[in-house]
C-alpha cells in the first residue's frame, strides 16, 4: 500500500554564488500520508552544515533559522538516516514528493557528500510539474511562490514561509486536494 512523504528542505544560501559552489541542507520538514489520504505524522529536524557551517545573514533572515539551531543539530548523515527510517523510504511503495526538482537535487548532493545511498530517491515525484499539467495541461509553468499557490487553491498558508515543516504542511494541503489526480510511476 502506497505511502507519500511530502517534504521540503531549507539549505545554506547567500546573496550571489555560494562559497565552494555547494548548498547544504539545514532543515528537513515532511508530512507522511497513507494511501487513504490520512496524515500519519510529521518530521522536522535541523541539520548542522559541515562544509560551510556559518549561516549567512541572508540565509538567517530568509529562513528564520538561527546559527544556534544548526549548531546544536546533528549532521546530515545522521538526520537523513533518521528521516529515511521515519518515512520508510526503502519501501518500494513509498513516494517522496516535493515542489520542484531543487529539493531532490539538494538531497542527492548531500547524500553523495556523506556517502549515503540514494536509491530511495528513485520514487521521487515533482509535484510542481504535475500541478502544472493538472492546471495548465503542461502549456505554461506554474507562476508564483508556494504560498501564492496555496492561497490560490483556497487554503490559508500556515506557519512560516521558507521553513521546511511549514512549506511541507502547506504543500500537503495541495497534495490532498488533488489526491486522486497525481501520477506515480
What is the pLDDT at residue 138? 59
Q: Which stretch of DSSP H or E encloses residue 106?
A: helix 102-113
Predicted pLDDT of residue 83: 98
CATH of the domain at 14: 3.30.420.10
Give me the pLDDT at residue 139, please: 60
| Residue 185: per-residue pLDDT | 75
Query: Checking phi first, is residue 144 left (phi over 0); if not, alpha (psi -120 to 50) or beta?
Result: left
Residue ranges making up the domain that contains 54:
3-181
Model pLDDT, residue 143: 75
Tally of domains in the chain: 1
pTM (2 d.p.): 0.94
Per-residue pLDDT at 21: 62
- For the chain, residues with pLDDT lower than 50 are none
The closest of 75, 39, 46 to 165, measured between CA atoms, is 46
Amino acid at each position: 500500500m502506497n505511502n507519500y512523504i511530502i517534504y521540503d528542505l531549507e539549505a545554506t544560501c547567500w546573496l550571489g554564488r555560494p562559497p565552494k559552489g555547494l548548498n547544504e541542507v539545514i532543515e528537513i520538514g515532511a508530512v507522511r500520508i497513507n494511501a487513504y489520504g490520512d496524515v500519519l505524522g510529521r518530521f522536522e529536524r535541523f541539520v548542522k552544515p559541515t562544509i560551510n557551517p556559518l549561516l549567512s545573514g541572508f540565509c538567517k533572515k530568509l529562513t528564520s533559522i538561527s546559527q544556534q539551531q544548526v549548531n546544536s543539530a546533528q549532521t546530515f548523515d545522521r538526520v537523513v538516516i533518521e528521516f529515511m527510517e521515519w518515512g520508510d523510504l526503502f519501501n518500494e511503495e513509498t513516494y517522496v514528493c516535493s515542489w520542484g526538482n531543487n529539493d531532490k537535487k539538494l538531497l542527492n548532493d548531500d547524500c553523495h557528500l556523506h556517502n549515503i545511498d540514494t536509491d530511495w530517491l528513485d520514487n521521487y515525484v515533482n509535484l510542481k510539474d504535475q500541478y502544472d499539467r493538472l492546471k495548465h495541461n503542461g502549456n505554461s509553468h506554474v507562476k508564483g511562490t508556494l504560498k501564492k499557490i496555496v492561497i490560490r487553491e483556497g487554503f490559508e498558508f500556515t506557519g512560516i514561509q521558507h521553513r521546511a515543516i511549514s512549506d511541507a504542511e502547506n504543500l500537503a494541503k495541495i497534495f490532498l486536494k488533488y489526491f486522486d489526480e497525481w501520477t506515480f510511476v
